[in-house]
């Protein structure tokens, strides 16, 4: 390995770290994580209404799918 290869590896690692850090900031700023939680709550509420109307809901599969 020469200096160029080491430089490329370091640049890639720094770029990936920077991307992951910026992604969290962008998600926080635009409230994306909050919107996802609200959508998950909406889905659960709609499924509860469906269940009250006589439908059958597999809650285990729902929780697995929406990540709760």
With beta carbons less than 8 A apart as the criterion, state whether 46 and 38 touch. Answer: no
Q: Which pLDDT tens digit goes with each residue over 8-32?
A: 999 999 999 999 989 888 888 889 8
pTM above threshold 0.75: no
User: Are 43 and 67 within one domain?
Assistant: yes
User: Are 48 and 67 within one domain?
Assistant: yes
For residues 27 and 15, give the distance between their C-alpha atoms in angstroms, rounded to a whole number: 18
Whether pLDDT at 39 is above 90: yes
User: Are 40 and 67 within one domain?
Assistant: yes
User: Are 10 and 21 within one domain?
Assistant: yes
For residues 66 and 5, give the distance between their C-alpha atoms in angstroms, rounded to a whole number: 42
For 48, half-sphere exposure in the C-beta direction (CA atoms, 13 angstrom radius) is 7
User: Are 42 and 66 within one domain?
Assistant: yes
Hey, what are 64's tokens? 């697995």
User: Are 44 and 26 within one domain?
Assistant: no
Quote the number of domains for the chain: 2
With beta carbons less than 8 A apart as the criterion, state whether 57 and 50 touch. Answer: yes
| Residue 2 pLDDT | 84
Q: Which domain holds residue 39?
A: 31-68
| Residue 68 pLDDT | 64
User: Are 53 and 63 within one domain?
Assistant: yes
């Amino acid at each position: 390995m020469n200096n160029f290869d080491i430089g490329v590896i370091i640049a890639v690692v720094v770029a990936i770290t920077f991307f992951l850090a910026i992604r969290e900031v962008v998600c926080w700023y635009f409230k994306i994580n909050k919107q996802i939680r609200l959508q998950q709550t909406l889905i659960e509420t709609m499924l509860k209404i469906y269940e009250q109307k006589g439908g059958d809901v597999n809650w285990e599969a729902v929780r697995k799918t929406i990540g709760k």
